[in-house]
Structure 1
Amino acid sequence: LPTTLEVLDLSNNDLKSLNLFLPALRELYLSGNKIQSLPSGWLLPNLQILTIQSNTLNMFGHSDLQSYERLQNLQAGQNKFVCSCEFVPFLQSEIKGGDVELTDGGESYICDSPLYLQEKPVGQVHLSVVDCHRVLFVSVSCGVALFVAILLCILLWRLHVPWYLKMTCAWLKAKRNSRRRQRCREREGLESLLSFDAFVSYSEQDASWVENFLVPELEEPRDNDEESVNHRPLTLCLHKRDFLPGHWIVDNIMSAMERSRRTIFVLSENFVQSDWCRYELDFSHFWLFDGNAGGEAILILLEPLSKDDIPKRFCKLHKLMSSTTYLEWPQEEEKTGEFWRSLRKALRGEEEDY
C-alpha cells in the first residue's frame, strides 16, 4: 500500500492483525474482522479516526490510546470485552469524557466475561473490593480472623473456658467408668468398698511433710498413746504409693475418692502453683464437691494462705474455706499434739457414720 494513503477500509476481511506503516493515514476502518488488539499507534502517527467494531478485541487501556498521537474518534464496541478491574474503570472514565471520543456510545461496550457480568454494559458494571482486590481481601480477612481468634482465645482463657471443657470431658468419662463401681457398691455395701480413711491430695514439694509427719502420725500405732490403743490406725491413700500405674489419672483420682471416707487437701503455695495439684483440685471441684465422693473435705494449711491465692473459679472451695474450720499446721512444736488430735477426731468422726 502507498505510504501516502489517507483513508483505508479493510472491514469484513477476516483479518487477525494489521502491521502496516502508513504515516499519512487519517481514517482506518477494521470492523468485522478477528483482530484481538488495537493496531500499534507508532505505525499510524497521523490516525484520527479508528473503527474496530465486531472483532475479537477483549480489552484495551490508556497506554494503547496514548500511542496514537492524533486519534480523536474511536469506535470499538460489539467486541468480547473482559470486564476486569483494570478495564472497567478505564472505559467508564473514557465514556464520561476522555481524550479520545467513543463515537459509537457506551451502550455498545458489553461484557463477555466473567460469566456473572455477561451481556451487561460496561458503563453499568460496579465491581466490589472483593472482585478487584481478592488477594488483599483474603489477606486482610485472614489477618482479621486470626486477630479475632487470638482475642477469643485470650477471652476464653481468662474466663477459664478450656478448664471447664477439660473438666467436663474428664468428669463425663470418669462418670461412665464409675457406673460399674456404683453397681458393685450397691451389691456389696458401701463399707466393703471403703479401703481408706482419707485420700490425701498434696504438692510433690510438700511430700516430705506428708511422708515424715502425716503418714507416721496417722498410720503407725503408738504403744504409749491411749488414743492409739482405743482406735485402730488410720489408712491413707497417697497417689505416689496407691495409684495404679498405667491407669488414667482421672480414674485414679476418682477411684481414690470413692474408696476413701474423707479427702484431705494439704494446701500451700506449692499446692496452688502446681499444675498437678491444680488438676487434682480441678477434678475434685467437679467430683468431690458435687457430692459424689465420701464425706466433706478436710483442709490442712501448711502455711498462711489467703483465699485469694486459690483460683477464683473454685467458688465452692472458696465458700468451704469461708464456712468450714480448717486445720493450720502450727509453727510451735508444742501445739502439734492438739493439731493431730483435731485431725484424728475429724477423720474418725466421719468413720463413725459408717
Structure 2
Amino acid sequence: MTQDQGLTVGNFHRVCIMTFMVGTVIQVSSERGFAIDLSKRNLTQVPKDLPPRTTVLDMSQNSIAELQMADLSSFPALKVLKLSHNRIQRLDLNAFKFNPDLEYLDLSHNHLRNVSCSPVVSFKHLDLSFNDFDALPICREFGNLTQLSFLGLSARKFRQSDLLPTAHLQLRYLLLDLGGYHAKETEAESLQILNTKTLHIVFHSRSLFSVHVNISVNTLGCLQLTNIRLNDDNCHVFTNFLLHLTRGPSLLNFTLNHVETTWKCLVRLFQFLWPQPVEYLNMYNLTIIESIDEEDFTYSDTSLKALKIEHITNRVFIFSQTALYTVFSEMNILMLTISDSPFFHMLCPQVPSTFTFLNFTQNVFTDSVFQNCSTLVRLETLILQKNGLQSLFKVSHMTKTMPSLETLDVSRNSLVSHTHEDMCTWAETIVALNLSSNMLTDSVFRCLPPKVKVLDLRNNRIASIPKDVARLEALQELNVAFNSLADLPACGAFSSLSVLIVDHNSVSHPSADFFQTCHHVTSLRAGDNPFQCTCELREFIRNAGQVSSGVLDGWPEAYTCDHPEGHRGTPLKDFHASPLSCNITLLIVTIGATALVSAAAVAFLCVHLDLPWYLRMVCQWTQTRRRARHVPLEELQRELRFHAFVSYSERDSAWVKSELLPHLEKEGIRICLHERNFVPGKSIVENIISCIEKSYKAIFVLSPHFVQSDWCHYELYFAHHNLFHEGSDNLILILLEPISPNSIPSKYHKLKAFMARRTYLQWPTEKSKHALFWANISAAFNTKLPCVTETDVKT
C-alpha cells in the first residue's frame, strides 16, 4: 500500500463527517450574494439595516434571546443562517416563512426547550443540538424535508418512535447530543434510527459512561462517539451499548473522541471490536489511567484493516513495556498509526507480520527501533516523523531487513550524516524517501537508496552536491528546497531526473547551461533565491524565457533580483544588461578604439591648434579671476582710466612711439603701454588683464612681427574675451605691414578668424594718406574719461 493510500485511510472518518458539510456550504458559497459576519458582536436582536440581498448571515456567539418573523422577513434570498451560541429559548419555525430559500440553519448551543411546528422550508442542514430539549424535537412536518442532509438533535430521554416522522429521509449525518441524558436504571430504552450514513453521538464530558439505550441504524457507514469515560466496572456497559450499533455489515468506520479508560478496558474494547465488521478504527485524545498490566488478547480473524490512535496521554508512570507494546506489535491488521504519544519504543513482531503501513509520527523513538527486525516482511510504508532519530546510518541499517519497504518518511528528526555513510545498507525496494527537516549535510548523497525515485531533502544543511556522488539512475524527483545551495544541481548523476525543487536556497548565479544538460527535467522550481542580477545571469534568463511556462514553476512571479540594490525586486524577465557591459572582448575593443580616437584628436589639437598653449592661457586666466574675487566690490566697480590699450611687437615699437603715440596723445587720447603702465610685482597676465579692463578700447598693431609673438597673441585673446561683449568696435586692428594668411601659424586660429571677418586700418605708405588714417582712428574715440592724476594713470 502506498503512502497516499495510508493517508486516505487515516482521514476516512473525517471524510464521513465532513462530506455533508462541504457539499452544502460550497454550493451556497458559489451562489451567494452578500455574506455578512456579525458573530461576537454582543447583539441582542437581529439588526434592521442589513442589505435585503443578504444570502449568508452569521450571528453566532451573541446574546440574542428571541427570534421572530419580523426579524428575517426582509431577507427573501437568505440561504445560510448561523445562530449558534446565543440565548434563544423558543423556536417558532414560522419565523422563516419569508425565507423560502433557507437551506442551512444552525441553532446549536442555545437554550431551546421546545419547537413550534409549522410548514418548514427546504432545509438541507438543520442543527438543534446542544440545547435543553427533554425529548427529541421532531415534528411531523420534518418528514417533508426531503433534501435534509444534516440533522442535529438534543434530548434527555428517548422514545422508540421519536424519529419515526423522519424514517423515510436519507440522512447523510445525524448528530445526537446526549450530554444531558438521564439513564434509567430499571430498563433500557430503544431508539430506532432508520437511515443515516453517519451517526455522531456526544455524551457528557465529565460523567462515567452509563447510557442504557439500544440504538439501531440501517445502512450506517460511519459511527463517531465523543466523551467516553470508562473504568473496569462500567466497561461492559459501553460494549453492550455498541452491540446494536456495530452489527450492521455496512459500518466501515468507527471513531472515538476524548476517551478516558483503563488499559484493561481498552484491551477489552479492542477484543470486542476484533470480530466486528468494522474496518477502520480511529481514536483521538486517548487517556490511559490506573495501571498497565499484561492482558490476554486473541488475534483471531478480523475485518479490521486499520487502527489509528492520535494523542495518547499516559497517566501510568510505572508499567510493563512489554504489556503495552505487545498488544500493538502483534496485531494482524494492515495499517497501524500511533502518533503524538509518549511511546519511546515499539517491539518487533514475534512472527511475520501483516503490517503494510506503520505510522509512528511524533513519538520519542530512538535509533534502536526495529533494528534487526526481520518479521516486517510485508511492510511497504513506514512513517517515523518527529521522533528522536539521530543516525542516518542506523536508519538505513534498520530498513535492510524490510524486503517490501517502498516509502520511508523520517523527516523532522535530528538525523546527521557522517563520513562513513558510504557504508549505508538500504532496502533496495525503497522508491520514496523523505529526509526533510533534519541536520543533514553534503555527505547525505553518499548514503541514499540506490533505486530511490522520489527524494525529499528540504530544510537541511546542504551546501552543495558532491561531483563524485553515486549515480542515482532511477531518481525522478528531487526536493532540496530551504538549504544553502549556491547553484542548480548538475544532472550528471541523476539521468532520469524530471522534477527538481530548489527554491529558498542561496542560488545567486544559476548555471546558464542547466536546461541543456538537464533536458529530462519537466518541472523546475527555483524561485525565491537571492539572484544577483549581473551579466552572468543573462544567459539563464534567456534560456528560462525560451522554455515553456510549465517547466519553470512560479515563473516569473517568484524569480526576482536580490542584488544589486537598485534592481532589488525587479522580475528577472525585466532585467536587461547591455551587450557592451557584459562582453569583455567587445568592451576592451570599444575602450581601445575610443582611446585611439581620443589620442588622435588630442594629437591633432596639439599639433595644429597648439592646445597646450591655450590650456596654459586658460589656467592663468582662471587663476587671475579667482584672485580677483577677493578684491573689494568698490574696487571692482572702478571707472575707465585709458582710452586704449596698445598691443604691438617690440620690433614695431619704433613706429608706435614715433607715429602712433604722438598723434593720439596730441588729440587727448590716453594710451596704456606695457612699458610704462604695468605695475611691478604683478605677473604679466595680471598686468595684461588689468590694463585691458581699465581701457575703453584695444589697439592691435599687426605685422609679421606681431604674428610671431606669443604675448601679442595672448593679449589679443584676452582682449577679445573681455571687450567683445560690449561691441565689436572696441577692438581696433591696424595693419602696419601686409600679412600673408599662410604665414600665420595654425595655432593662431583666433587671429586668422579676426583678419578674415573684421575690417582693419592699413598704414599707408604714402604720406598724403596719413591724415585720413589718423582721422579714422581719432573718430573711434568719442568717450570722455574722468580727470585723473598722473599717479592714477600709472596705476
**Category of TM-score, reference length = shorter chain:** 0.5 to 0.7
Q: Deviations over 1:73-121 (max 9, x none)?
A: 34323441515343354245345338xx826363564225135655665
1:27 is matched with: 476
Q: Is 1:278 aligned with 2:713? A: yes
Q: Could you tell me how far apart the structure 1 residues matched to 2:694 and 2:554 are?
A: 88
Using the TM superposition, give the Cα deviation of residue 276 of structure 1 relative to its aligned residue in structure 2, in angstroms. Answer: 1.9
> Structure 1 residue 314: deviation in Å?
4.5
Q: 1:109 to 1:21 in 2, by over 3 A?
A: farther
Q: Deviations over 1:260-297 (max 9, x none)?
A: xx987543112134232234445666669969x99x97
Distance 1:121 1:298 in 2: 69
Report the count of equivalent residues.
290
Task: Tell me which of 294, 311, 315 is aligned to 2:751.
Answer: 311
SS at match of 1:113: strand
- For 1:1-354, what aligned pairs fall within 5 Å after superposition? 1=424, 2=426, 4-12=450-458, 14-16=460-462, 17-19=464-466, 20-36=469-485, 37-42=487-492, 44-58=493-507, 59-64=509-514, 71-82=520-531, 84=533, 85-87=535-537, 89-94=539-544, 96-97=546-547, 102=551, 104=553, 106-107=555-556, 109-114=558-563, 122=572, 124-129=573-578, 133=582, 180=638, 201-207=647-653, 210=654, 215=657, 238-240=673-675, 243-247=678-682, 248-250=686-688, 253-254=691-692, 266-281=701-716, 299=734, 301=736, 303-305=737-739, 311=751, 314=754, 318-321=758-761, 326-328=762-764, 330=765, 338=767
CA distance 1:273–1:103, shift in 2 (3 Å) = closer
Contact 2:500 2:521 in 1 (8 A): no
Which portions of structure 1, spanning 4 or more consecutive aligned residues, are displaced by more than 6 angstroms? Answer: 134-142, 161-164, 173-176, 216-220, 288-291, 306-310, 343-347
Match of 2:126 in 1: none
Question: Which structure has greater strand proportion?
Answer: 2
The 1:345–1:27 alpha-carbon spacing in structure 2 relative to 1, beyond 3 Å, is closer
Alpha-carbon deviations, 1:160-180, whole Å to 9, x = none? x9999x79x98xx79986855
Unaligned runs of 5+ residues in structure 2 are: 1-423, 427-448, 745-749, 785-795
TM-score by length of 2: 0.28
> Could you tell me how far 1:34 is from its partner in structure 2?
0.9
Structure 2 residue identity aligned to 1:48: L
CA contact (8 A) 2:525 2:552 kept: no
How has the CA–CA distance of structure 1 residues 340 and 138 changed in structure 2, closer, same or farther, with 3 Å as cutoff? same
CA contact (8 A) 2:702 2:733 kept: no
Change (3 A) 1:41 1:244: same
User: Which AA in structure 1 matches 2:711?
Assistant: W
Kindly state the Cα deviation for residue 139 of structure 1 after the two structures are TM-superposed. Answer: 10
CA distance in 2, matches of 1:81, 1:23: 29
Deviation at 1:56, TM superposition (A): 0.6
**Structure 1 pair 176–74 and aligned structure 2 pair: CA distance change class (3 A):** same
Partner of 1:250, secondary structure, is helix
Report if the CA contact (8 A) 1:269-1:305 is conserved: yes
Provide, for residues 120-149 of structure 1, a one-character-per-residue CA deviation record: whole Å limited to 9, x for no partner: 654x424142896499889979959x96xx
Residue type of the alignment partner of 1:41: C
For residues 768 and 726 of structure 2, the distance between their equivalents in structure 1, rounded to whole angstroms, comes to: 28
Change beyond 3 A, Cα 1:239–1:108: closer
Greater relative contact order structure (CA < 8 Å, 6+ sep) = 1
CA 1:46 to 1:272, structure 2 compared with 1: closer, same or farther past 3 Å?
closer
**Does structure 2 conserve the Cα–Cα contact (< 8 Å) formed by 1:53 and 1:76?**
yes
Unpaired segments ≥5 residues, structure 1: 186-192, 221-230
SS at match of 1:311: helix
Q: 1:131 to 1:83 in 2, by over 3 A?
A: farther
Classify the secondary structure of the residue corresponding to 1:253.
helix
SS of 2:526's partner is coil
Q: State the match for 2:409 in structure 1.
A: none
Alignment partner, residue 109 of structure 2: none
Check conservation: 1:60, 1:87, Cα contact below 8 A.
yes
Of all paired residues, the percent bearing the same amino acid is 20
8 Å contact kept, 1:29–1:50: yes
- Cα shift readout 1:12-62 (whole Å, capped 9, x = no counterpart): 4524145441443332432544141344434x2533334324441524224
**Is residue 460–residue 483 contact of structure 2 (8 Å, CA) maintained in 1?**
yes
Query: Of Structure 1 and Structure 2, which has the larger fraction of its residues in helix?
Result: 1
State the distance in 2 between where 1:317 and 1:65 align: 71
TM-score by length of 1: 0.53
Q: Distance in 1 between matches of 2:577 and 2:569?
A: 18
Corresponding residue SS for 1:93: helix
Q: How many Å separate the matches in 1 of 2:694 and 2:502? A: 89
Distance 1:249 1:24, change over 3 A: same
Question: What is the DSSP-based 3-state SS (H/G/I as helix, E as strand, rest coil) of the residue aligned with 1:56?
Answer: coil
Provide Cα deviations, 1:188-225, integer angstroms capped at 9, x if missing partner: xxxxx99xxx9754212334xx1xx76578999xxxxx
Q: Counterparts of 1:219 and 1:312 in 2: how far apart (Å)?
A: 27
SS at match of 2:451: coil
Contact 1:38 1:64 in 2 (8 A): yes
Alpha-carbon distance change, 181 to 251 in structure 1, aligned in 2, over 3 angstroms: farther
Change beyond 3 A, Cα 1:39–1:318: closer
Question: In structure 1, how many angstroms separate the alpha carbons of the residues matched to 2:689 and 2:651?
Answer: 23
**SS of the residue aligned with 1:29?**
strand
SS of equivalent to 2:751: coil
Q: Aligned partners of 2:660 and 2:512: how far apart in 1?
A: 95
**SS of corresponding position for 2:759:** helix
Question: Aligned pair in 2 of structure 1 residues 178, 279: CA closer, same or farther (>3 Å)?
Answer: farther
Q: CA RMSD in A?
A: 6.0
Output the amino acid matched with 2:713: R
Counterpart Cα distance in 2 of 1:141 and 1:289:
41
Say whether the 8 Å CA contact 2:645–2:695 is kept in structure 1.
yes
Shift of 1:320: 4.7
CA distance in 1, matches of 2:733, 2:465: 98
User: C-alpha distance in 1, partners of 2:693/2:552?
Assistant: 90
CA shift in 2, pair 1:128/1:237, >3 Å: closer
